[in-house]
Amino acid sequence: MYKDNKFWLIVCSLLILLLDRTGAFKQFKNTSEIFTSSVKSEIHLIKSNFLDLTNFVRKYPDYINIVSESDKLKKEMLELDYQVKELQAENDALRTQIGASSVITFKYIPAPVLSVSRFMEIGVGEKDKIYIGMPVVIGDTLVGKIKEVSERNSIVMLPTDSESQITVKTSRGVKGILSGQSGNGIVMEKVLQKDPLILDDLVVTDGQDDFPPNIIIGKVVHITVSDVDVYKKAKVDPIIDYQKEHTVFIIRQ
């Protein structure tokens, strides 16, 4: 038995030597290297991905903070942009007011517009020495009159309000009463039939009702004449769009 084993060991040794000399082992080695290289590559890729995942998990809180900071910065930039636009609008309004011709002799209190519906709400009040009845303007144009005052805010009655009654005259000197019609604009009433009313005539304050004279309110856009009435009337469109204003000025006489 021992001799048989020894014989086969010798045969195997000779066979290995023969295969090595003929290059058969080299081919096997090359084939195995291809296989092991592929396996090693996959293992390396898995290991690399695992390390990337581990690194991502470890740094995930940092990523969240970066995203949060980015969102915060975007929000702050939007807020700053809004503030810049508000300041630009206020500066434009101030320049307009400084250049106003007919009311330049008065002192003004600037006020931000908070909201506009039937009335205009502005961001000044008793603490700013605002009182009921004070006129509100933008440049040479009338916005309205202070109707209510609280500590920090005030309510402005617009010329379009149904409670508004203003003594006015046209650029030709024709006098009348300007009445608000709520959602239907403004009407100049109590105009004598003999007095000339012309389309596009400017309508300004007459210096009564606590308003300084010659503050522009609007222009004539339609005239209604009746043969049986003593008076005629005209529809007047405001010069400014109250909804679009950001800053107004209260006149301190």
Helix 2-22 vs helix 24-98: angle between axes, to the nearest 10 degrees?
Answer: 60
Q: How much is the pLDDT for 48?
A: 57
Q: How many CA atoms lie within 13 A of 39 on its CB side?
A: 6
Number of H helices, E strands in the chain: 2, 12
pTM over 0.85: no
Q: Take residue 192 and report the two structure tokens written for it.
A: 């004598």
Cα dihedral across residues 166, 171, 175, 180: positive or negative: negative
In 3-state terms, the chain is what percent helix, strand and coil (to 5)? Answer: 40, 30, 25
What is the distance between the alpha carbons of residues 124 and 228, in angstroms, rounded to a whole number?
48
By C-alpha distance, which of 135, 161, 144 is closest to 217?
A: 144
Q: How much is the pLDDT for 174?
A: 95
- Residues of the chain with confidence (pLDDT) below 70: 1-57, 59-60, 62-63, 77, 80-105, 183
CA 15 to chain centroid, in Å, comes to: 90
Q: How much is the pLDDT for 70?
A: 73
Q: How much is the pLDDT for 154?
A: 96
What is the distance between the alpha carbons of residues 202 and 199, in angstroms, rounded to a whole number?
9
Write down all domains in the chain, each with its CATH number in brackets. 1-98 (no CATH), 109-253 (2.40.10.340)
